[in-house]
């Protein structure tokens, strides 16, 4: 995740293994997604976008949620990448990230957050929020 605190921009790349996404589609939405194949379900990507918005959020400056928009989605080998961005009309001084992706299906799930190519944090089912001052 890249944060331009002066311009109020957040750019985010989320990488999830396609077999984990298949688990989400099957168990949560009762859909066999067949991600990245000619048999891919027509609603798979929209359902996965909804799932990400449900389980991942960013708030700045003590609570102002950023509306993350999906720029694009790509598949590279056995992973799906979601490229997202959001903007607030103010300088970002503080960021709160809530990342609960996959923790509803995998008890030992660990999500690595890398912020501005230097701050790395590992999040999981119990510790899924971090707050940072910029």
- Distance (Å, whole) CA 96 – CA 65: 9
Q: Which residues lie below 8 Å from residue 133, measured CB to CB, with a gap of 6+?
A: 93, 94
Mean pLDDT of the chain: 95
Q: Which two tokens stand for residue 9?
A: 């921009």
User: Starting from the edge strand earliest in sequence, which strands make up the sheet with 2-4, in order?
Assistant: 2-4, 9-17, 79-87, 69-76
Tell me if residue 67 falls in helix, strand or coil.
coil
Backbone angles phi, psi at 38, to 5 degrees: -60, -20
Q: What is the pLDDT of residues 73-125, one digit of tens each?
A: 999 999 999 999 999 999 999 999 999 999 999 999 999 999 998 888 999 99
CA Rg value for the chain: 15
Q: What is the DSSP secondary structure assignment for residue 20, as one 8-state letter?
A: H
Q: What is the pLDDT of residues 33-85, one digit of tens each?
A: 899 999 999 999 999 999 999 999 999 998 899 999 999 999 999 999 999 99
Q: Single out the residue of 88, 3, 101, 13 nearest to residue 52, CA to CA.
A: 101
Give pLDDT, residue 118.
81
């Amino acid at each position: 995740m890249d944060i331009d605190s002066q311009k109020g921009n957040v750019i985010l790349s989320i990488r999830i293994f396609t077999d984990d996404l298949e688990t989400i589609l099957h168990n949560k939405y009762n859909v066999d997604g067949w991600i990245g194949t000619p048999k891919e379900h027509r609603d798979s990507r929209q359902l996965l976008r909804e799932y990400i918005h449900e389980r991942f959020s960013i708030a700045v400056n003590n609570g102002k949620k950023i509306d993350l928009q999906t720029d694009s989605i790509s598949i590279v080998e056995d992973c799906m990448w979601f490229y997202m961005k959001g903007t607030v009309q103010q300088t970002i001084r503080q960021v709160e990230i809530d990342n609960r992706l996959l923790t509803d299906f995998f008890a030992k799930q660990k999500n690595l957050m890398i912020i501005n190519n230097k701050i790395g944090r590992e999040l999981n089912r119990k510790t899924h929020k971090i707050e940072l001052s910029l």
